[in-house]
Structure 1
Amino acid sequence: MYIEQAYKGLSETWRYVLGFFLVFIAWQFVGGIPLMAALILKSNSLADLTGDLGQMAEILGTNTFLFFMLLTFVIGLVCLFVFVKFVHKQAILYLTTSRNRVDWKRVLFSFFLWAIISIAFILIDIYFTPENYEFNFNLGPFLILAVIAVLMIPIQTSMEEYFMRGYMMQGIGIMAGNRWVPLFITSTLFGLMHIFNPEIGKLGYGVLVFYIGTGFFLGILTLMDEGLELALGFHAANNLTAALLVTADWTAFTTDSIYRDISEPTLGWDIFIPVLVVYPILLFIFSKKYGWTNWKERLTGKVLSKESFAEVNVNDVQL
């Protein structure tokens, strides 16, 4: 009953509509003020402020730009938590999970499982196509990157998970009265949220298949496991390995990583491998480990009304 955890706070529709817009504005605009201020101080002309991410990183330096970019997510997450606590009167625990406490073992299992798989995929590709990679390791900048990444990337990914798979999943779910509508909407919005990433300009809109597919994968994790823990671990592992191990000039995370991908990017059939092969295998692994059953009901079934949820809780207490 993860979606129904919204009933443990104030769950009127207007609160979610207001929260969506206020948190989004705080995240995307207020959170960007420090970045814009830093660019103004470092740039030679106002024209520099309208450049792409690569130009901004060149102005500030790669690590400094990464810090200010990730700071927008820190500000967004703080604003989301404050709004949930004081406007919805909902404990952050109930935004996180339907369990009595956050299951950190789930977070760590998902994190290390995907980190190991991601690193293996990258190292295999480097081994078989070394001409596509350039050794980029520089101890000083890498150590600074590692500190920034380890401290802030989990916050960045948590903001996306709490906002999309948490706040919006619960809000849309109780409005729609079912589970498939919030799964579809949040997964699609998650993919479209990446539409301004430089990868889109380089590879085209076809890469949205990967982003939307990832959104569905994370949404399924959340609904089947009745909490955000697995999605939080997976997302953090994915972005950390991307930032620390290999980067490219045409990606959102252009960092002082160990390797740099210097190949000419192309959009091919391999974009479907994670969505159609890897993610289903991961879902199978998680389902076996955590004993998931009743997939249809958990992914498409009805959401209890507030009154029905209250009756269930009363019965649980009596039992």
Structure 2
Amino acid sequence: MFIAQAFKYYHQFWRYLIGSLIIIVASVIGQLPFTFAILYKKGFGILGATEADLMQVLDSNLNLFLLLLSFVFAMGGIVLVTKFLHHQPFVKLTTSREKIDWKRIAFGFTLIALFTIISTYWDYSNNPEHYVLNFKPVSFAILCVIAILMVPIQTSVEEYVFRGYLMQGFGILAKNRWFPLLLTSVIFGGLHFFNPEVDKLGNIIMIYYIGTGLLLGIMTLMDEGMELALGFHAGNNLVGVLLVTADWTAFQTESILKDVSTPTAGFQVILPVIIIYPIFLLIMAKVYKWKNWKEKLIGTIELPENTEDSVLNEI
């Protein structure tokens, strides 16, 4: 079982607290190049500027690269913490299977990528006045290289932290599944509270962010591994970065289209959570023959057999 297998390694909760701090420090170190680049460009007069102002200082491709660089450092922190603090094989932070199932990652990626492309094309066809063509061949080519290399790292870091590291840590603490599912979803959504989308659309967008965390958590628990969530998150962000940008989004890129419509928050914010996300889960449940929903989502966690006493008793 995905959460229970963490009992086989050094799993005391203080380790998860220290590990989380190490990952945060690694991420902060990774943010320094972006900070230095801003200071070099504008000097200390930029201090106190809004996030929107900071996003306009650098070239958009350089801006994206430096923003995503912090996730490269964070990934290094996750690898080190898993290996040296928990003595846990990285594959066991990823899945309950013997090895990572790349076909599952590809399925999750393809499902959301196709949906995003089709829904964007439909909206563009019906509301062309909401978009302007933003395609610049050279800039887009550079964007593709940066995005294809680094966006999957960004999304993987978020998945390994929330659906992997904290899901196992909170699961071991509570010895059930519903607590880590809800808590990681709320924390995941809460960390998006400072995104510029919240200022533009209002707090109602938090339903979408928390709901997305809940969707990815359900995928992980029902499938006993993170592969579907890894692929889904990467497909969502990568296609979004390449396809559409807007002046009020967290990532402003040299994408194909630019959304120039006036953003409004309403039922379209809640629609994915209550209708589209359940459809995604039903598709995955059909493909991967998910069963025992109640037990896998809210059941207790049993100590695995053959867990070494030295791991159990270590403090």
TM score, norm. by length of structure 2: 0.95
Report the counterpart of residue 21 of structure 2 in structure 1: 21
Contact (CA 8 Å) 1:225, 1:292: kept in 2 or not? yes
Report the counterpart of residue 250 of structure 1 in structure 2: 248
**Does residue 58 of structure 2 align to residue 60 of structure 1?**
yes
Report the counterpart of residue 166 of structure 2 in structure 1: 168
Ranges of 4+ aligned residues in structure 1 off by more than 6 Å: none
Report the counterpart of residue 312 of structure 2 in structure 1: none
**Does residue 36 of structure 2 align to residue 40 of structure 1?**
no
CA shift digits 1:236-276 (9 cap, x unpaired): 00001110000100001110100000001010111111101
CA shift digits 1:2-59 (9 cap, x unpaired): 00121232111110111112212321x212111111111112x313243234322322
In 1: Cα distance, 2:37 partner to 2:9 partner = 39
Report the counterpart of residue 148 of structure 2 in structure 1: 150
Which residue of 267, 280, 283 corresponds with 2:281? 283
Report the counterpart of residue 315 of structure 1 in structure 2: none
In 2: Cα distance, 1:286 partner to 1:113 partner = 9
In 2: Cα distance, 1:122 partner to 1:180 partner = 34
Give 1:113 shift. 1.3
CA shift digits 1:192-238 (9 cap, x unpaired): 01011000111111100000000000000000000000000000000
What letter corresponds to residue 310 of structure 1 in structure 2? N
Report the counterpart of residue 134 of structure 1 in structure 2: 132
CA shift digits 1:174-201 (9 cap, x unpaired): 1100000000000000100101100011
In 2: Cα distance, 1:49 partner to 1:81 partner = 33
Return 31-40 or 118-127, whichever deviates more: 31-40
Report the counterpart of residue 4 of structure 2 in structure 1: 4
Identity %, equivalent residues: 48
Contact (CA 8 Å) 1:40, 1:46: kept in 2 or not? yes
Report the counterpart of residue 310 of structure 2 in structure 1: none
Report the counterpart of residue 96 of structure 1 in structure 2: 94
Report the counterpart of residue 317 of structure 1 in structure 2: none
In 2: Cα distance, 1:145 partner to 1:51 partner = 26
In 2: Cα distance, 1:310 partner to 1:298 partner = 22
In 2: Cα distance, 1:241 partner to 1:113 partner = 12
Give 1:98 shift. 0.1
Contact (CA 8 Å) 1:190, 1:211: kept in 2 or not? yes
Contact (CA 8 Å) 1:202, 1:265: kept in 2 or not? yes
> 1:264-303 residue pairs with structure 2 within 5 A?
264-303=262-301
What letter corresponds to residue 57 of structure 1 in structure 2? M
What letter corresponds to residue 87 of structure 1 in structure 2? L
Structure 2 unaligned spans of 5+:
308-315
What letter corresponds to residue 119 of structure 2 in structure 1? F
Contact (CA 8 Å) 1:142, 1:257: kept in 2 or not? yes
In 1: Cα distance, 2:9 partner to 2:187 partner = 25
Which residue of 187, 191, 195 corresponds with 2:185? 187
What letter corresponds to residue 58 of structure 1 in structure 2? Q
In 1: Cα distance, 2:3 partner to 2:305 partner = 11
In 2: Cα distance, 1:309 partner to 1:52 partner = 53
Report the counterpart of residue 177 of structure 1 in structure 2: 175
Query: What is the total number of aligned residue pairs between the two structures?
Result: 308
Quote the RMSD (CA, aligned, Å).
1.3
What letter corresponds to residue 167 of structure 1 in structure 2? Y
Contact (CA 8 Å) 1:36, 1:49: kept in 2 or not? no
Give 1:149 shift. 0.3
Give 1:278 shift. 0.6
TM score, norm. by length of structure 1: 0.94
In 2: Cα distance, 1:182 partner to 1:163 partner = 12
Report the counterpart of residue 316 of structure 1 in structure 2: none
Contact (CA 8 Å) 1:8, 1:94: kept in 2 or not? no
Structure 1 unaligned spans of 5+:
312-319
Report the secondary structure of 1:260's partner residue.
strand
